[in-house]
Amino acid sequence: MITDKLLRVSEDQAVTSTAVSTNTVDLSVARDVGEGTALYMNFALTEAFANGTSITFQVITSANANLSSPDVIGSSDAIVTASLTLGKNIVVRINPDIAGKGKRYLGAKYVVSGTMNAGKVTADIVETIGDGQKYYASGFTVA
C-alpha cells in the first residue's frame, strides 16, 4: 500500500467521541474521482481504543471544508472496542458515485458509541490494500 501525505485525512487523530477528520481532500470542484481504479480509505489504528462500546468508520463528502452536513459514501460496520487494537487496519471502499453527490470535500467521520478514553487513527485514501497477512515458506534454495 502506497500512501500520499496529500491524501491523508487524519494523522494520529485522537478519537474519544464522534468526530470528523482533522483534514480534508479538496477536489477543487465536485468531480468524479471514482472512475477507473477502485479507491479505499485505510483507517490504521495507531493507539488501541479503550472503554466505549464501538466505532463505525465512515468516508464522507461535503460541500464545506469543515465537513458539516456530509453524505456518507462508504462505511464499516460498528466495530466493538475489544477489536480496536494497536496496528489494526479497517478498510472502507469509496463509492465511485462521488460526483453524483455534488460535493467538493472528502474526509472521514468516526461514529463513537459510548465514550472512549484512548484511541488514535491515521486515515489515508489509497488505491491498493496492504493486508499484512502474507506468509511465505522459509528455508528454500534458489538454484
Domain of 72, CATH number, reads: 2.60.120.1110
Domain extent, residue 94, equals 5-126
Residue 139 lies in a domain: no
The answer on pLDDT for 82 being more than 80 is yes
3 state DSSP class of 56 = strand
d(CA 43, CA 124): 7
Check whether 99 has a pLDDT greater than 80.
no
| Segments of 52-104 assigned E as strands | 54-62, 71-75, 79-80, 89-93
Q: Is residue 141 part of a domain?
A: no
Better pLDDT: 59 or 134: 59
Which pLDDT score, from 0 to 100, does residue 142 have? 67
Percentage of residues in the chain having pLDDT higher than 70: 80
Question: Are 79 and 117 contacting, i.e. CB atoms less than 8 angstroms apart?
Answer: no
Domains: count for the chain:
1
pTM of the shown model? 0.84
Indicate whether 87 belongs to any domain. yes
Residue 120: CB partners within 8 Å, gap ≥ 6?
A: 12, 13, 14, 15, 45, 46, 47
CA–CA dist 45, 42 (Å, integer)? 10
Average pLDDT for 47-60: 95
Of 2-11, 40-49, 56-65, the poorest mean pLDDT is in 2-11
pLDDT value, residue 3: 77
